[in-house]
Amino acid sequence: MKNSKESIRLFENPILESLTKTNALFVIATLALISLSILLFGIIKIKLSILGYIALFFSGTFVYTLAEYLIHRFIYHSAEYKNPKKLIFKIHGMHHTTPQDKQRLVLPLPVSIPLAGLFIFVFWLIIGKYVFIFFPGFLMGYSYYLSLHYFIHTTKPPKNFFRYLWKHHLLHHYKNETVAFGLTFPLWDIIFGTMPEDKKLE
């Protein structure tokens, strides 16, 4: 895999091509603001104890970590993800070709907002009005993932706990793409047997 900061062209249409690039920090801030707005609405409309709010919010965050793992492993790394002609390459495969392309480290808002709407609808079908507390936790988990993912690919590993997460994700990119799918919560890799055996980065 290339260790490239260069950008590759995904679409001949200039409008579609421009929509594949975005400012990561703007997307993160926007999604975090949406999360907080929905949470405020939920707190106003739904009466729970403080512990109830906290438990429901962080349940959403926890469910996000599982969704992140499953989507990364089974959708983003489906059989055709390396084929430039396939949509999944444009969504994720190209990130393995140019992992340091700053403009393509997050899904642009025209994609991520409709996906967020789909998730909130599915959760609403399952838990009803409580989605307005649960989903902000889910979306905040995604915002945290985007932040972590952005800094892993644009900065040097810190000398603290987060250094492990840096190394875990970089092993996925530069050592073995069939392991280390959990970025924010590597415990899922332990549970599902996808922890990297070779933990040395060259």
Task: State the amino acid at position 161 in one-letter form.
Answer: F
In this structure, of 49-58, 159-168, 185-194, the range with the lowest mean pLDDT score is: 159-168
Looking at residue 201, its pLDDT comes to 60
Lowest model confidence (mean pLDDT) among 35-39, 69-73, 153-157:
153-157
Model pTM score: 0.92
pLDDT at 172: 94
The more confidently predicted of residues 130 and 89 is: 130
CA distances from 137 to 78, 107, 199 (A): 27, 19, 31
Please give the pLDDT value at position 93.
84
**Nearest one of 97, 80, 113 to 10, comparing CA atoms:** 97
Instruction: Please name the amino acid found at residue 81.
Output: Y
Between CA 42 and CA 169 the distance in angstroms is: 34
In this predicted structure, what is the pLDDT of residue 120?
98
Beta carbons within 8 Å of 199's beta carbon, 6+ residues apart: 167, 171
Judged against a pLDDT cut of 50, whether residue 189 lies above it is answered with yes
Q: Mean pLDDT over residues 73-101, rounded?
A: 88
8 A C-beta contact, residue 10 and residue 20: yes
Find the DSSP H helices in 73-186. 87-88, 94-97, 109-127, 131-154, 162-174
Cβ-based burial of 115 (10 A; exposed 0-12, middle 13-18, buried ≥19)? exposed
